Structure 1
Amino acid sequence: MVGIGLAAPLLVLLLPFPAAIALGGLGAFTAGVVLAIRLRSGAFFALGLIALFGFVGAASETQLWLALRHAPEVTLPSIAEAPDHPEATRFAFPEATARPDLLGEARSTTPRSAGPPLELSAFAVPLVPPGWTAAEPVAAWLVCQQPRAAEPCATALPPRLTRAFRATPRPEAAQAALARHGLRAVAAPAWLSATDDISTERAQAGWMALAWPVLAWLAWAVGVAVYRMVSLPRRRA
């Protein structure tokens, strides 16, 4: 698992992501199979499978960390031009204003394997250039999502921005804003996140890249321990 933690970032840096996943995942699984054959223990075959998933997790988080860290920045004359650059990940622009008074909220429920379903709220706030009026279409939205019981993340968005990152689209929240406030939007608006939010995501991705090998090893160790407890012969009374 230490090898996975070291190899995953290196392969993602050196190879295209699909090749890194194929080579590293196959290598992790093969190492487990070789150990299982040499040591004649099925536990190492299970270790190979778990190592495969651990490598995929670590490599995926590393790829996300790199994408957030090294995303190229596009300079715009106005935030209204953001929809014209669908390939861009990071934007710089003259000061734009967030309008939380025109926000929209959409609620959803995600089932969980244990416990009650997770209730989420997605928010979309218009991000507009100076002089914008409600009669003009919204070209960019600041978006965020969180558990419903928490303080609304839309209230913590910065009131003015000169930089932003592309974010996960929240069209249901934007549609709620359009219907509630009588607004209209361009056909394919830009979905954006404040740079502080991206910094947090980048830090989380880095920690998760380190955590995946540890979590995989713990899953294997717990599985082996449980198997040994169940398979121990019971003493006769």
Structure 2
Amino acid sequence: MRHQMILLCACLATVSATLEVVNQWSLLQFDFPPDPVLLEKFEPENTVPTGLEIGWDKLYLGIPRLRSGVPATVAWVPRSLPPGVSPVLQAYPDWSWHTAGRGDINCTGLISVYRVRADRCNRLWVLDAGVITSLDDFRRVCPPKILIFDMATDRLVRSVYFPRELLRPSSLLTNLVLDETRSSSRLSSTCDHLYAYISDTVAPEYSAYQQQFLQLVPLRRVPSFL
């Protein structure tokens, strides 16, 4: 079995900046529900995080279904744990959103998430690629979407599905950047004047979502820093 060490590190503000290990795992483990099918399908060596976001009291991980055997594609651990521990992961927002982990595809749930982002209004933006086993046979099982959760209640507050005309057969949406710098003083307290930029990794292109008008638009010839 191929072993790997996964580290979450924080940079300390000292004269000579050093890194402190916050959490570490050789292989990720989950706090499973009483579901023998989910546990049987779990393949720890295929479960690799690619995204991290820091909330007020939680660390959120994006764990895409690059290969089979990933039980939950978004998970969290508490921030209050001692440094260097290897906590079990909790499915976010709960296990009912992760039926794809047991082979039951539900396109209103979470399919495969590479990145998550938090905004100033304590909401978690989740970019769901809708593609499973992308390293093996690239199965598009659902339309890609953005799901926005209230991190105080863990409830879904908005969902945005990508229309077919913005996608290509090989599209893989993996990265999400939030731009809150455009907020005017009049709209800054509403949480609605915000732009999200989404990158297409396989077919290089970008899309933008303007929350104020609930609109997705394609972007081309933009810098490749996303």
TM interval, shorter chain, is: under 0.3
Report which of the two has the higher share of strand: 2
Higher relative contact order (CA 8 A, sep 6+): 1
